[in-house]
Each structure stands twice: as C-alpha cells, then as structure tokens.
Chain A
C-alpha cells in the first residue's frame, strides 16, 4: 500500500508558562493510502499534538515529516497553507462552523478555495442534509452541525481527513451517524481518514489503531476485521 505520510523521530515541545512541556517524543509513524486509522490515548498523551503536526497546523521541534515526497518540517507558512488547502480535510470536536453562514454556504466556503472540489450541494445531500441547505448553524442540532462539518471537509476533495474527537460533543446515536459518514468516505473514495479519540469503542472500526501514551507511540495494532460503525458501542 502506498504511504502518504511518513514521520521520523517527531518531537514537539513548547513553553507553557514557565514549564517546558514535551508533548511528542521521537514518534515514528506511517499513514497509508485508503486506510482508516484511529489514534487512541488518554488526554495529555500527545494525540492532538500529533494531529496538529500531520495537519500542518504547527511545526515539529525536531524530526522529519513527509507528505508523499514533500517535507512538511521544512515548509514555511505559505507552503503549509497550500498543503492544508489541497491535501487535508479537518473535522473538529466543536464543528467550528461559521455562525452567520448557512449550511450550504459553509460548505461552499471551503470549495471556493479548493483545487478540484465536489459540489457543495451534492455532498450535503449525501450526508442527509438536502432539506437543510439554507439553515444556519444555530438552527441545526449538534449532529447536523457535525455532518455539515464533515461535508465541508469532504467537499474539498482532500487526500485525507483528520478528525479530532468528531463524536466528542455528540450523543451516541448521532455519533454513530457521523462515524458512518467517515467510513463511507474511506471505503468508497479509497481515501485515508485519521481519527483521534480517547474513546476505545471507536477503535474497533479502524484498520489500524495507534496507541499514544505520554507523548510516545506506545504500540500499533492492526485490525483484520474492523467492525462496521453501527456495531461499535461505548
């Protein structure tokens, strides 16, 4: 399988007040084309930091990180912006929708800056929001908002999705719906999805699970028979 992201000895430390925090220590990682990866760990284990590095939101303190052949660790802000624009689709725990744009406009906003976007309307119909195109975030439920966020990420037609606790703010039922969408994207489009969570139940639907602890990659488990989203529980 083709490797899309390669990290060697990734470390990240930052100054928090007067303490220096080592958030990531010598992590070696490879992410493959088309797989659904879950990064699992308790809070403070470094999983969000890892996601930030992979998504080009922050730079590593040391180590090397490549997106295909491109060195992300050596890119300037301009290069990282282009990377986020073309390769990555982000999904956040708290949706981060623009409150004064409608569902369709929120998605359209992302497609405007993408190189080969999908139709905003089609994607929204795909996530089951065909009837709510003209609604503002405040008029949508949490699950619906997260589905808009998924649509926004997917519509950019990115190489892979990075999801930061996408079900963290949702109840079980709506959480499952969102996971179904992510899995559908992974299977049907043959695209990579990286999902970070502290929820061990979700890990059961992953092709591979990366366990993080104390800033290190503790172990990796391959899942021969991943469960369907509707089968997982927590």
Chain B
C-alpha cells in the first residue's frame, strides 16, 4: 500500500522529480559513454601495439652508415635496433595549389623480423624492385586516390611517380601530424607512405643514409640507461633527436586523449550525481514536512519508524534506479557514435564500439548509492518524530530580524517583497546554500566551455595575426645563403617583404634538466615573426643570449639571467653557454629564439637561412607557389589561408562537443532552480495565495520568489568567476603539453556568455513558476491548513 502512496506522491510532483531524474541520467550517460569509449580506445591501442609492435625508443640523425647500426645493436640493454630512412616529400597534385606532403618511411618487405610492423589493410605486398608504396587510408580518402593509381612526388629535386600498391597503417602513425607545432592532423595535406629501403635508395640516390633508428630495450634496462650509452655514440652522426616511446607524437597524443577522457569520465558524472542527490534531498525533506500528519497517523497505526523511513527511502530509490537505467543505457548507446567519432581522429584498425554491461551495472550502483545517501539524510527527521509530535502541526516558522537589516541604507532601499525574499534566504539557509552552489557550478561550467571555445580562436588568431604575419613560409631542403636567397626571392613579382629564418635543432640544458627544441634565429628587424612579451608588446632581440618560451623556461627551470648550455649537431665545438635574456609567453610550440646573426656566429657556419617568410600581393601568391613547388631546394611550402581553413573545419567538430557540455550545464541549472522553486511554491502556497487575494498580480507574487533567486544568482555568479579561473588553470595544467599551452588570461566574453546562459535557465524556470501561480486556485489554497 505504501508503494502506491509513494508512486502517487512522486506523480504529484512529477516535474520536480523528472528534473532530478534528468540530471542523474546526464551524469550517468557521461559516465557510461566516456568510460566505454575510453575502454574501446584503450583496447584497440593495446591490440594494435601488441600485434604490430611499438619501439621503445627513437633516434633521429643526419645520416649513419649501415655498418654502424650493427655495432650499435650490440650495445648492452638493446634487444633490437633497426635503421630506416624517413623523409618528407612534396606531392605535386596536378592543378592543385595547396601543398601536400607524404612522409616516406622505409619498412621491411615482410620476410625479416621487425619491431615495427605495418598492417596492410588492402592491396598488394611491397616489391623491393618496384617503386610502389603503401599509403595510409585517410590520405587516400581525403585526396580521392585509389590503389593502382600513381602519386607524383618530388624527391631530390626530381619528379617521380609512385604507384599505390596498398593502404596500410602503423601503430606509430595512429595520429599522423607533420610536426609537433601542428595542432591536429590534416589528412588532405599530410599522409604516411611506406616503401622498401631498396626502393627508397633507388629514388633518393644510392648514397642515401639511414636517418632514423628505432630500438627495443632488453628486459631490466631503462630507457635512461640506453640513452646515456647511445647519445655520445650518435653525436658524430648528427644526432637531432633522441626520445622514448612516450614522447613519440602520435603515441603521446593518443595517451593524453585516453587519460583526459578517463579523467572526465570519472569526475564529471560525480558533479551531476551530487546535484541530483541534493535535489532529491530537498524534495524529500519537503515531502516529509508536508506529510507530518500522515506520518503521525501511520505511526499511530503501529508502523515503526524504521518502516516509515524505508517508505521514504523508496522515493529516492525509484528515482535512482530509473535515472541509473536511463542514463547508463543511453550512455551505452552513445558510446557507439562517440567511438565512431574517435575513428576519425585516431586511426586504430580495431577501434569499434563494444556492447558491455559492466559500466551499466556500475552506473546503476553509483546512482542508487547517491540517491539512497540523499534519501537517508533527507528522511532522518521522519525517524525522529514521536507519533504525538508528528500529529501536531509544526511550530510556525518564526520571523526574525537578520543581521543584514543593520545596513540601513540597503534595507530601506528594498521593497517589502524584497525584504520578504531576503529574510527567506536566511530562513532556509540550507536550500539557499544549495541553490547558490548549484548556480555557481552551472555558471562555471558554461564559462569554462565558453572559455575553451574562445581561447582556441584567440590562440590561433594571435598566432596568425600578431606572431606570424607572413603569407607563405618556404622551408629549404638544406640551409642556403641568407643574403643570396633573400635577393633571389625579392626579384619575384608582387613580393612585398622577405625575411629569412635560421632554425637549428638543439638540446638546451640547465643543471640536470634538458629539452630538445628548435632555436629560431630571427633578424633584428623582423616583422613577419614577432616575439611578444607578457604585455603584448614586441620584445627586441638581444645581441647575445636567448629568449625562451615560458613553457620551455619552466621545463628547464630557467629564469632571466640563467646560463643555459646549448648542444647541437650543427655546432662546431661540443657545446656553448648562453644567458637567458628574457622569457615570453607562447601558446603553441616550445621554442628558443636568438638574433639570427648571433646564432650564425655561434654555429660558425656563416650567414645561413633554413626558411623564408614572404608577404606578397594576393594575386601573386599562386604564381609563387607554382614557381617553387617543384624546386629542388624547397622542402615544404606553407600557405596561411590553407592553415586557417583547416583550423576552422576542425573547430566545427570540437565546438560541437564543447557546446554539449554547456547544454548539460544549462539543463542542470534549470533542474536545480526549477525543483527548488516548486518546493518553495508548495511550502508557501497559502502565503502567496493570501497576497493574490490582497490584490497582487501573479507577476507581483512571483517577484517574491524571483527576487530571492536573483539575489542568490548574483552572488553565485560572482563566486563562479574565481571558481572558473581555478577550473581553467586545473584543466590547463592537465591538458597543456609540449605542443601547446592554454593561456590563463581573463577572458570576459566567456563570463558574459555564462551570465546570459545562467539568466536564461533561471528565467525559464521562473516562467514555468509563473504559469503555476496563474493556475493557483485561491479558494483551494486558502482552505488548506498549514
């Protein structure tokens, strides 16, 4: 019988319970779907890595003879060591302006045992005597290429046609990025191609030397051991980079995505569940207050207080179960499209949605646990009432002066409705507190999502309009004479400005800390590459000394004036020491900067340029691209507008996910305000009906409730600002990497968005309240005894 009473009670305030149900469901949907997706991703990664192998370490050198490789393989701690040639080549699609690149990676043809195998997805095996390649499927799809067709590429200044023999995928290029400075992969302009070493040598010249080593460690040896043995031996072959598997770009990003997904999956839902639990708690407290008489009657029949509490626990139990089922099943369903979305980013062959009930069960346990906890605290009062006490009406709510009234100027400025509302805030401290926390939480969530949406644009926009202001960047295949190149380029029609850069890969060391980076040498009059200080003003290059990006400075533990040791394959001597001149904020990439002439002097190789930045008249741009795309000295050519376009495409996808979070926050905020208002309305029905009888309009009556809410909302939004900044800094720390830093700047736009969003869900909740007040039957409301 009591079950029936419960069901009817719940149905009577179905809107409030429904709001609570929705919040719980959202939490569990996020929990189930993200955990399942992360599991799918993890499983696919593990399987692919295990089956096809992933090296423990990588070394990039300028060139190393084959014989030397055999000697290195015998080093202690090394189980296996292989050499390969990795080279980026330009693809010259007929009739296309933007540049595209293929990274050629030499592989075995299947007979030999290797630690990094490539999975052939379709097509024919490679033939060591034929210029055929395997290409990653995304590049093929994005460029509408098919197996059997030929791709024209420039190798060593020559145009060569490579036959596509198949499509293949390697664990090393699950997330193929051309360099760490890119933010995301672009399969249309960059792909991976695999080919046998003999074919590579026949194309690039027989003298082409191995330039990348991959190795596997023997059990019991750490990467650091092997690194310390390898490094000195590789130095004379022009060591450019030496890094462990965890720093390999594709692997790094995949792992980072995995851990951030798992972190979100296990924290976000708790917030939603907590909000749901608070709503349940408030609803339950209210219903018990309202049903005092009924509880007294039940007790007088002979129901024990335990039975009565069990009865009131059945309310949250049913909501917890329903919310758990709804949330986890929809999460299970959602994990399939989400996994499919990841397929577009991470090219893991075995990645697919899996049906698993594990998380559904866990989600149910979680939601029932939270609901019962809320229920226990909400219904404790019912246990404590003695039957006689329960039968008596509760003591009338006492009016009291509050300390705020001592501020006369403030208090006098309030209307009587305002005074009522303000005193009420203090009368229901607990509910006010939860409302406050709820609004703060939702406001911050919306602000954080707004911040991320804005900040990425800010980062890109800053980078493109303030830092790098060129139209085209040409990177040379080998360093050229700076003055000669500049003179040559200036002869081009329509060219407005040319600046050359000298980029030198180097290792910077400070004490025991060290970092691989690229030192960028800039002209002192550079206008196309600007270094901006904290205040956004240009920083002038010193005659001597380094400018570090803040990210790099932090990694090295360096401050202004710190002496840094610099090692580079390009250096004549062993190493040199330079002071840090200043540190600048940089969102993307970690670099060190120097005056170009100073860098040339340090390297002692004369005045060189490794790339050039151009500004030209718009109509001249295609001509320039056309002229240089097949030139042998040109390694790559980057067009700004092309980059921007790619970025915008990417943002469209990310933006969507970001806004889903904001929508969740909006719904949660609405649910909190709405359910609490309904409780307040029920509690004060008689009071409010009396006001209606006095002649107040529904709008005027609503003001009493809304004044309270706006007052709380204002305070909550103010409190939400520092919370948002705190959340952003936490997330920035978690998400920031070598690749980019999230700037921690005050971004007023996102707070405006959050304030508007918060106001919207409050208004929406109030509008539904107004409808209820309009429907009040005055006669009924006044008849009811408190």
Q: Does B697 contact A (CB under 8 A)?
A: yes
* Inter-subunit contact A85/B779 (CB<8 Å): no
Q: Which of B401, B419, B427, B782 contacts A96 (CB 8 A)?
A: B782
Which among A96, A114, A138 has the greatest number of chain B C-beta atoms within 10 A? A96
* Inter-subunit contact A90/B694 (CB<8 Å): yes
Q: Return the CB mask of B676-700 against A: 1 if under 8 Å, else 0.
A: 0000000000110011111111001
Q: Return the CB mask of B758-786 against A: 1 if under 8 Å, else 0.
A: 00000000000000001001110010010
Question: Do A112 and B398 contact each other (CB < 8 Å), given the known contacts A81-B695, A84-B694, A100-B424?
Answer: no
Q: Does B420 contact A (CB under 8 A)?
A: yes
Q: Which of B401, B417, B779 contacts A52 (CB 8 A)?
A: B779
Residue of B nearest to A53 (CB): B779
Which among B396, B401, B416 has the greatest number of chain A C-beta atoms within 10 A? B416
Contacts of B690 in A (CB 8 A): 92, 96, 98
Expressed in whole angstroms, the minimum distance between the Cβ of A7 and any Cβ of chain B is 17
* Inter-subunit contact B399/A138 (CB<8 Å): yes
Given the complex of chains A and B, what is the CA–CA distance between A83 and B779 in angstroms? 16
* Inter-subunit contact B778/A112 (CB<8 Å): no
* Inter-subunit contact A100/B397 (CB<8 Å): yes
Q: Which of B397, B415, B686, B687 contacts A112 (CB 8 A)?
A: B415
Expressed in whole angstroms, the minimum distance between the Cβ of A48 and any Cβ of chain B is 8
* Inter-subunit contact B397/A138 (CB<8 Å): yes
Q: Which residues, 55 to 113 on A, are CB-close (under 8 Å) to B?
A: 55, 57-58, 77-78, 81-86, 88, 90, 92, 94, 96, 98-102, 105, 108-110, 112-113
Q: Which residues, 114 to 131 on B, are CB-close (under 8 Å) to A?
A: none
Given the complex of chains A and B, what is the CA–CA distance between A110 and B417 in angstroms? 11
Q: Does A136 contact B (CB under 8 A)?
A: yes
Q: Does A41 contact B (CB under 8 A)?
A: no
Q: Does B423 contact A (CB under 8 A)?
A: yes
Expressed in whole angstroms, the minimum distance between the Cβ of B720 and any Cβ of chain A is 28
Q: Does B5 contact A (CB under 8 A)?
A: no
Q: Does A137 contact B (CB under 8 A)?
A: yes
Residue of B nearest to A88 (CB): B695
Contacts of B782 in A (CB 8 A): 57, 92, 96
Which among A55, A82, A99 has the greatest number of chain B C-beta atoms within 10 A? A99
* Inter-subunit contact B686/A100 (CB<8 Å): no
Contacts of B396 in A (CB 8 A): 99, 137-138
Question: Do A105 and B779 contact each other (CB < 8 Å), given the known contacts A81-B696, A84-B693?
Answer: no
* Inter-subunit contact A105/B695 (CB<8 Å): no
Given the complex of chains A and B, what is the CA–CA distance between A100 and B414 in angstroms? 15
Question: Do A86 and B420 contact each other (CB < 8 Å), given the known contacts A99-B397, A136-B399, A136-B400?
Answer: no
* Inter-subunit contact B399/A101 (CB<8 Å): yes
Residue of A nearest to B686 (CB): A96
Q: Which of A58, A94, A109, A138 contacts B779 (CB 8 A)?
A: A58
* Inter-subunit contact B416/A108 (CB<8 Å): yes
Given the complex of chains A and B, what is the CA–CA distance between A90 and B694 in angstroms? 7
Given the complex of chains A and B, what is the CA–CA distance between A108 and B522 in angstroms? 76
Question: Do A100 and B427 contact each other (CB < 8 Å), given the known contacts A52-B779, A58-B778, A58-B779?
Answer: yes
Q: How many residues of B contact A (CB 8 A)?
A: 31
Expressed in whole angstroms, the minimum distance between the Cβ of A39 and any Cβ of chain B is 16
Contacts of A156 in B (CB 8 A): 694-695
Expressed in whole angstroms, the minimum distance between the Cβ of A106 and any Cβ of chain B is 8
Contacts of B397 in A (CB 8 A): 99-100, 138
* Inter-subunit contact A57/B416 (CB<8 Å): no
Contacts of A108 in B (CB 8 A): 416
* Inter-subunit contact A99/B398 (CB<8 Å): yes
Contacts of A81 in B (CB 8 A): 692, 695-697
Residue of A nearest to B398 (CB): A138
* Inter-subunit contact B399/A57 (CB<8 Å): no
* Inter-subunit contact B693/A99 (CB<8 Å): no
Residue of A nearest to B693 (CB): A90
Q: Return the CB mask of B390-414 against A: 1 if under 8 Å, else 0.
A: 0000001111110000000000000
Given the complex of chains A and B, what is the CA–CA distance between A86 and B695 in angstroms? 8
Expressed in whole angstroms, the minimum distance between the Cβ of B23 and any Cβ of chain A is 30
Contacts of B423 in A (CB 8 A): 100-101
* Inter-subunit contact A109/B416 (CB<8 Å): yes
Q: Return the CB mask of B216-248 against A: 1 if under 8 Å, else 0.
A: 000000000000000000000000000000000
Given the complex of chains A and B, what is the CA–CA distance between A156 and B777 in angstroms? 23
Expressed in whole angstroms, the minimum distance between the Cβ of B779 and any Cβ of chain A is 5
Residue of A nearest to B421 (CB): A100
Expressed in whole angstroms, the minimum distance between the Cβ of B775 and any Cβ of chain A is 10
* Inter-subunit contact A85/B695 (CB<8 Å): yes
Q: Which residues, 76 to 123 on B, are CB-close (under 8 Å) to A?
A: none
Which among A52, A102, A109, A137 has the greatest number of chain B C-beta atoms within 10 A? A109
Contacts of A88 in B (CB 8 A): 695
Contacts of A82 in B (CB 8 A): 695
Residue of B nearest to A58 (CB): B779
Residue of B nearest to A120 (CB): B416
Given the complex of chains A and B, what is the CA–CA distance between A139 and B396 in angstroms? 11
Expressed in whole angstroms, the minimum distance between the Cβ of B431 and any Cβ of chain A is 14
Given the complex of chains A and B, what is the CA–CA distance between A96 and B700 in angstroms? 18
* Inter-subunit contact A57/B693 (CB<8 Å): yes
* Inter-subunit contact B779/A57 (CB<8 Å): yes
Q: Which of A77, A99, A101, A114 contacts B416 (CB 8 A)?
A: A101
Given the complex of chains A and B, what is the CA–CA distance between A110 and B693 in angstroms? 10
* Inter-subunit contact A113/B398 (CB<8 Å): no
Residue of A nearest to B416 (CB): A109
Given the complex of chains A and B, what is the CA–CA distance between A57 and B777 in angstroms? 8
Given the complex of chains A and B, what is the CA–CA distance between A83 and B419 in angstroms? 26
Q: Which residues, 641 to 688 on B, are CB-close (under 8 Å) to A?
A: 686-687
Q: Which residues, 127 to 183 on A, are CB-close (under 8 Å) to B?
A: 134, 136-139, 152, 156
Residue of A nearest to B400 (CB): A136
Expressed in whole angstroms, the minimum distance between the Cβ of A53 and any Cβ of chain B is 10
* Inter-subunit contact A84/B399 (CB<8 Å): no
Residue of A nearest to B688 (CB): A98
* Inter-subunit contact A113/B693 (CB<8 Å): no
Contacts of A96 in B (CB 8 A): 686-687, 690, 693, 782
Question: Do A99 and B697 contact each other (CB < 8 Å), given the known contacts A105-B416, A108-B416?
Answer: no
* Inter-subunit contact A100/B399 (CB<8 Å): yes
Residue of B nearest to A86 (CB): B695
Expressed in whole angstroms, the minimum distance between the Cβ of B478 and any Cβ of chain A is 83
Expressed in whole angstroms, the minimum distance between the Cβ of A172 and any Cβ of chain B is 23
Given the complex of chains A and B, what is the CA–CA distance between A55 and B690 in angstroms? 13
Contacts of A94 in B (CB 8 A): 785
Contacts of B779 in A (CB 8 A): 52, 57-58
Contacts of B401 in A (CB 8 A): 134
Contacts of A134 in B (CB 8 A): 401
Question: Do A99 and B695 contact each other (CB < 8 Å), given the known contacts A52-B779, A57-B778?
Answer: no
Q: Which of A86, A109, A114, A136 contacts B398 (CB 8 A)?
A: A136
Contacts of B424 in A (CB 8 A): 100
Given the complex of chains A and B, what is the CA–CA distance between A98 and B774 in angstroms? 20
Residue of A nearest to B687 (CB): A98
Expressed in whole angstroms, the minimum distance between the Cβ of B432 and any Cβ of chain A is 13
Question: Do A99 and B687 contact each other (CB < 8 Å), given the known contacts A105-B419, A136-B399?
Answer: yes
Residue of B nearest to A89 (CB): B694
Residue of B nearest to A152 (CB): B694
Given the complex of chains A and B, what is the CA–CA distance between A134 and B696 in angstroms? 23
Q: Which residues, 714 to 770 on B, are CB-close (under 8 Å) to A?
A: none
Expressed in whole angstroms, the minimum distance between the Cβ of B200 and any Cβ of chain A is 85
Expressed in whole angstroms, the minimum distance between the Cβ of A129 and any Cβ of chain B is 15
Q: List 15 A-B contacts (CB under 8 A).
A: A58-B777, A83-B695, A85-B695, A96-B686, A98-B420, A100-B397, A100-B399, A100-B424, A101-B416, A102-B399, A112-B415, A113-B694, A134-B401, A138-B396, A152-B694
Partner-A contacts on B (CB < 8 A) = 396-401, 415-417, 419-420, 423-424, 427, 686-687, 690-697, 700, 774, 777-779, 782, 785
Closest 6 A-B residue pairs measured CB to CB? A85-B695, A136-B399, A96-B690, A84-B695, A100-B423, A138-B398
Partner-B contacts on A (CB < 8 A) = 52, 55, 57-58, 77-78, 81-86, 88, 90, 92, 94, 96, 98-102, 105, 108-110, 112-114, 134, 136-139, 152, 156
